[in-house]
Amino acid sequence: MDLTMLLKPEAVRALSGVTSKKRLMNELGALVEAAYDVPHSAAVEALLERESLGPTGVGHGVALPHARLDGLEQVVGVLVVLDKPIEFEAVDRQPVDIAFGLFAPLDAGVEHLKALALVSRTLREPSLCAKLRANSDSATLYTIVTAAQAAQAA
């Protein structure tokens, strides 16, 4: 599995004006709807429900919100980079400015876990996150994250 299997170029955005976790979840829902034709309300509801179990902020300004959704055929992802970090209740209590949302079929099982592990490994690299934070062009962000993951695999 690699990120190009999870992430379409049109599922990557730099965003400004996001000021809360709830607003971020709405933006992730809008992005997954636009890129993968997933209903916005179902995506946001599933993300918020999962978040109520415990925050998905993994530290160093990165969050990995994820949810299982009825009607999906495979695990898909969306990536957003925020112009200003927001409070996210992350494990290290640092605000978040990079969020990779993952959406999996209800019966995804191990594929969902593999996708989470892949994204987590990729975004654990400080130099990659610095490059993402330094760019606001969606195509460039997509290239940075997919090229970095390919380089890690090599």
Q: Which residues are catalytically annotated? A: 66
Q: Which of 76, 85, 73 is nearest to 24 (CA)?
A: 85
> Which of 11, 23, 22, 40 has its CA nearest to residue 101?
11
DSSP states along 130-149: HHHHT---HHHHHHHHHHHH
CA distance 4 to 96: 24
104 CB-contact burial (10 Å; exposed 0-12 / middle 13-18 / buried 19+): buried
Beta-carbon contacts of residue 153 (< 8 Å; ≥ 6 apart)? 2
| CB contact at 8 A, 87 and 95 | yes
